[in-house]
Amino acid sequence: MSVEKIFNNTEIAFQLKNDSELERAYFLFKMISHQPLVRIGTAATNFALKANLPVEGLIRSTVFDHFCGGVNEDDCLPVIEKMHSKGVSSVLDYSVEGKESEEQFDNALNKTLEIINFAEQKVAMPIAVFKPTGFGRIYLYEKKGLRLDFTNDEELEWNRVVGRYDEACKLAKEKDVLILIDAEESWMQDAADAIVDDMMKKYNTEKPIVFNTLQTYRWDRLDYLKHIQKRAKNEGFKLGMKIVRGAYMEKERERADEKGYPSPICRNKQATDENFNNVLTYILDNLSDISLFIGTHNEESSYLAMEIMLKKNISINDNRVWFGQLYGMSDHISFNLATAGYNVAKYVPFGPVKDVMPYLIRRAEENTSVAGQTSRELNLIKQERKRRKI
């Protein structure tokens, strides 16, 4: 018994793209497949933005429009509606990063609350998301993770960070909107995990509402999962887990080297892949305890999830299993899965152009440094251009 290989259908994959959007995607992926070009482009863009040169228009009409839904929630509505008409849900992602003031953290919380309220009224948006460093300083997470003493001011600041998580998760529960909490650098993650674990205990009493994220490029994540599963069983709450491979590999390795501690990252890509598939399999084996959001652009892992679901008689639209991709990437996975009846949601990032640059740069770098992804996107786009006789 095996699943049909559905991801090669480019007509379904690109059904929402008109010819000129397809051409833009072709041009873009061709450009970012060249590593030196991305490096130069990134440096030039950062410089131009800092120097207030008028490059926003150029960024908007190229990378931004491809990878983001818009500058604000309302801009994203047409994208949300269009995708939903093809069975794909949206996770609005306020992708402003690198902010460090209390005002900006409150602003990120308010955005998250707005999105949860917005999501409640829209079947197309059953899930919300936020980033730990959107709600507090990385320095504080790190200090907490190292169990160092806070000053009085830091203690108060930390309580405000925890309060922001609580407000967001509480509203998510009230509105019955799932809330995913992203994972970031390992040196801040222990403290974030501790808060999320407590949020799951508080709000996942009847069903999983709050989801933590496991980055499987870290070799210790299955152990963490088993540990929190034990706690959840003992204390009577449910788990929600988003699984991803992880987006900060270069930074992680550099820091471990620089500071002389063992790298938390798997030794190679194959080890990360095996770890991802093991965690995926473990959760699907324990679905009564743990709900799953599979955040990946990897076809093999997606097929593996489908195979396991088939073998274990898990219905393809079981509400405990979601597949997720990022807007602007891997439409061949998203739309073919949705057409086949699986639960699929795409992260739709939005925010002012300048502020979403770190997100955009990560996407560009990811598409160059990861052998295979860009050429796969490019080949599919080429295949579709040929089919459309462009």
Ligand X SMILES: Cc1cc2nc3c(=O)[nH]c(=O)nc-3n(C[C@H](O)[C@H](O)[C@H](O)COP(=O)(O)OP(=O)(O)OC[C@H]3O[C@@H](n4cnc5c(N)ncnc54)[C@H](O)[C@@H]3O)c2cc1C
List residues near ligand X by CB under 6 A. Answer: 182-183, 213, 215, 217, 244-249, 265-266, 268-269, 272, 295-298, 324-326, 347, 366, 370, 373
- What residues contact 99, with CB distance under 8 A and at least 6 apart? 105, 108, 134, 355
Is 126 or 246 the residue whose CB approaches ligand X more closely?
246
Minimum distance, C-beta of residue 117 to ligand X, in the bound complex (Å): 22
User: Which residue, 152 or 268, is less far from ligand X as judged by CB?
Assistant: 268
Cα→Cα distances 301→294, 323, 357, Å: 9, 11, 29
Closer of 124 and 266 to ligand X (Cβ): 266
Smallest distance from ligand X to CB 189, Å: 10
Query: Are the beta carbons of 182 and 213 closer than 8 angstroms?
Result: yes
Q: Which is nearer to ligand X, 49 or 361 (CB)?
A: 361
> Do β-strands 344-350 and 88-94 pair in parallel, antiparallel, or remain unpaired?
parallel
- Nearest residue (CB) to ligand X, 57 versus 358: 358
Structure tokens given for 18:
């008109």
Write down the least CB distance from residue 55 to ligand X, Å. Answer: 26
Are 279 and 222 in contact by the 8 Å Cβ rule? The answer is: yes
Q: How far is the CB of 149 from ligand X (least distance, A)?
A: 29
Report the residue number, 245 or 389, with the smaller CB distance to ligand X: 245
Residue pair 321/314 in contact by the 8 Å Cβ criterion = yes
Give me the residue label for tokens 């290989």. 5
272 versus 291: smaller Cβ distance to ligand X: 272
Give whichever of 172 and 247 is closer to ligand X, judged by the CB atom.
Answer: 247
Distance CA 118, CA 158 (A): 28
Tell the smallest beta-carbon distance from residue 329 to ligand X (Å). Answer: 7
What's the min distance (Å) between Cβ of 328 and ligand X?
11
Using CA atoms, how far apart are residues 177 and 196, in angstroms rounded to an integer? 16
CB of 230 to ligand X, least distance (A): 24
In angstroms, what is the minimal distance from the CB of 271 to ligand X? 6
